[in-house]
Amino acid sequence: MPAKKYKYPYRKTITLADGKRHDICANTKEEFEEKLLEVQLLTKQGIVPTDMTFGEFAKVWYKTYKDGANLRLNSKASIKNTVNNHILPFIGELRIDSVKPLHIQRIMNEANKLSNSTSSKVLAAMRSIFNAAVDNNVIAKSPVGITLKAGGKPTPEKPTLDKEECERVLAEVENPRAHIFALIGLRTGMRRGEIVALHWADVDFEHHIIHVRHNAEMQDGQPTEITDLLKTTAGERDIGMPADLEAELLEWHKRSRGKFVVSMYNGKPFTKSAYRSMWRIVARTVSNKHFTAHIMRHTYVTQLVESGVDLSLVQYLAGHSDDRMTKKVYLHLNKQALADDAAQAARDAFGKDTAQPISDVSRETA
């Protein structure tokens, strides 16, 4: 019987500390000795070489650290989307201990062509997965460098509604549910999910306050889940009701069915499709902007800042976990005011006062 021929001229089978057999194969003597030395070094560190692919470990990581964690459904869906669409196509089939910084950089090069938000999510997911692999002695070192940073396109500045647009929304939206939803959004700055999940029990008419305590997780084709997991740790807050909002809520309460302030006709919370249908009624009142529920929230925060409300109070009312978002709104408004002041100062210096403010000209030429 002829001797068995192997694909690799240099080959050795060794028995690892866990009793399993591991093949070391190479085309050259130098490559073989390098691989053998690597296995010996990993074994001394208590790391057993593995044939597990990155994709296989990523599934274990998600099930253990994310799916089993106390996370919102939308957060879990976002993580799965990030891993499945932006990471697995590149390294899903590679052995996890064979992934190099070069692979990571290629992934980030592609992610950086997208938004900064997407790039940040991709980097965070890879860092978490490989750190878990290190912690569990699957690999010796993470290929995700500690100095690696997310790139991507900056998020465009969100538009706001001016006073006339706010009034038009409230005047033209005649559907009662859509009207109440819009009124709550414009007068409290609550997030979309917080409004959908708002219970009548959380509307304190005696003290003129809305207690934000719940969030709605809306997913396509699924019943909406009402949870007390808010988007941020600062999400739980109490917001004062302006007089017009309180008056309309009192009247709406008399006609409302069920425990939710805004709901479907059967009293159950909006499904994703029902919410979209309701929102289209609101959105068509503002034709010159891509009008989303978040724009109502951004408008509310902007109005607070413009009114001179202390930034720490604005941060609390908005439910921001830190002051970065609040300061971003403040700095943007200051930048606009500075541009107009600088233009006026230049006109005054040369004795001319016929030009328009920069902000007005930019609106006309936009």
pLDDT at 123 over 60: yes
Quote the pLDDT of residue 1: 45
> The domain that contains 87 carries what CATH number?
1.10.150.130
Residues 65 and 83 in one domain: yes
Number of domains within the chain: 4
List, for residues 218-230, the tens digit of each pLDDT value.
Answer: 988 889 999 988 8
Q: Answer yes or no: is 299 within a domain.
A: yes
Residues 312 and 177 in one domain: yes
CA dist., res. 131 & res. 110, Å (int): 22
Of the candidates 360, 303, 333, the residue with the CA atom closest to the CA atom of residue 157: 333
The DSSP-derived string for 73-137 is HHHHHHHHHHHHHHTHHHHTTSBGGG--HHHHHHHHHHHTTSBHHHHHHHHHHHHHHHHHHHHTT
Residues 59 and 86 in one domain: yes
CA dist., res. 91 & res. 107, Å (int): 9
CA dist., res. 271 & res. 193, Å (int): 11
Confidence class for position 357, pLDDT limits 50, 70, 90: low
Residues 125 and 191 in one domain: no
Quote the pLDDT of residue 326: 73
Q: Answer yes or no: is 20 within a domain.
A: yes
pLDDT at 12 over 80: no
Residues 176 and 292 in one domain: yes
* Average pLDDT of every residue of the chain: 85
CA dist., res. 241 & res. 227, Å (int): 23
Q: Answer yes or no: is 185 within a domain.
A: yes
For the ranges 151-160, 166-175, 309-318, the one whose mean pLDDT is highest: 166-175
pLDDT at 143 over 80: yes
> The domain that contains 245 carries what CATH number?
1.10.443.10
Per-residue pLDDT averaged across 187-205, rounded? 96
Confidence class for position 365, pLDDT limits 50, 70, 90: very low
pLDDT at 125 over 90: yes
Per-residue pLDDT averaged across 213-218, rounded? 94
| Domain, as residue range, for 336 | 324-365
Confidence class for position 47, pLDDT limits 50, 70, 90: low
Confidence class for position 362, pLDDT limits 50, 70, 90: very low
Instruction: Report the b/e string of 271-297 with b at 16+ CB within 10 A.
Output: beebbeebbebbbebbeeeebebebbb
Residues 299 and 351 in one domain: no
Residues 167 and 255 in one domain: yes
Q: In the numeric block, which tokens belong to residue 41?
A: 């070094």
Residues 273 and 290 in one domain: yes
Residues 171 and 287 in one domain: yes
Quote the pLDDT of residue 280: 95
Q: Answer yes or no: is 3 within a domain.
A: no
| Threshold 0.75, pTM exceeds | no
Residues 199 and 304 in one domain: yes
Q: Answer yes or no: is 303 within a domain.
A: yes
Q: Answer yes or no: is 147 within a domain.
A: no
Residues 313 and 169 in one domain: yes
List, for residues 276-312, the tens digit of each pLDDT value.
Answer: 999 999 999 998 888 999 999 999 998 998 888 888 8
Quote the pLDDT of residue 363: 43
Quote the pLDDT of residue 44: 56
Quote the pLDDT of residue 72: 82
pLDDT at 361 over 50: no
Quote the pLDDT of residue 26: 81
pLDDT at 264 over 60: yes
Of the candidates 207, 210, 213, the residue with the CA atom closest to the CA atom of residue 239: 210
Residues 78 and 224 in one domain: no
Q: Answer yes or no: is 145 within a domain.
A: no
List, for residues 70-117, the tens digit of each pLDDT value.
Answer: 788 888 999 999 999 999 999 999 999 999 999 999 999 999 999 999
Q: Answer yes or no: is 146 within a domain.
A: no
